Homo-oligomer: A and B are copies of this chain.
Amino acid sequence: MTWHSGGVSLPEERRRDTRLDDYHSSYSQRTHQMRASAVRALFAVANRPEVVSLAGGMPNIADLPLDVVAQNISTLIQQRGTQAMQYGSGQGEPFIREQICEVMALEGIQAHPDDVTVTCGSQQGLDLVTRIFCDPGDVILAEAPSYVGALGTFGSYQAEVVHVAMDEHGLLPEALRSAARACAEAGKRPKFLYTIPNFNNPSGITMTLERRRQVLEICREFGILMVEDNPYGLLTLDSDPIPAIRSLDDEQVVYLGSFSKTFAPGFRVGWVLAPHAVREKLVLAQESATLCPPVFSQYAVGSYLANHDWKAQITSFKDMYRARRDAMLHALDEFMPPGATWTHPEGGFFVWLTLPEGLDSQAMLPRAVTARVAFTPGTAFYADGLGSRNVRLSYCFPTPERIHEGVRRLAEVVNQELELHQTFGLDRSPMHVSRAVGPGPETV
Contacts and interface: CB of A to CB of B under 8 A. Distances in A.
A364 interface: no
Contacts of A439: 287-288, 291
B133 A27 contact: yes
A152 B438 CA distance: 29
B90 A78 contact: no
Contacts of A62: 82
Interface residues of A, number: 91
Interface stretch (A260-268, A346-354, A378-386, A424-432): A260-268
Interface stretch (A101-109, A164-172, A292-300, A323-331): A292-300
How many monomers of this protein are in the complex? Answer: 2
Nearest to A153: B288
A69 B86 contact: no
A69 B87 contact: no
A291 B444 contact: yes
Given A127-B288, A133-B28, A266-B295, A78 B70 contact: yes
Interface in A20-69: 20-24, 26-31, 34-36, 58-59, 61-62, 64, 66-67, 69
A306 interface: no
Given A36-B284, A87-B441, A291-B441, A275 B22 contact: yes
Given A27-B281, A289-B289, A294-B297, 4 more contacts: A69-B85, A120-B290, A124-B290, A156-B289
Interface of A: 1, 20-24, 26-31, 34-36, 58-59, 61-62, 64, 66-67, 69-71, 73-75, 77-78, 81-90, 120-121, 123-124, 127, 131-135, 138, 149, 152-153, 155-156, 191, 225, 251, 260, 264-268, 275-278, 280-281, 284-285, 287-297, 299-300, 438-441, 444
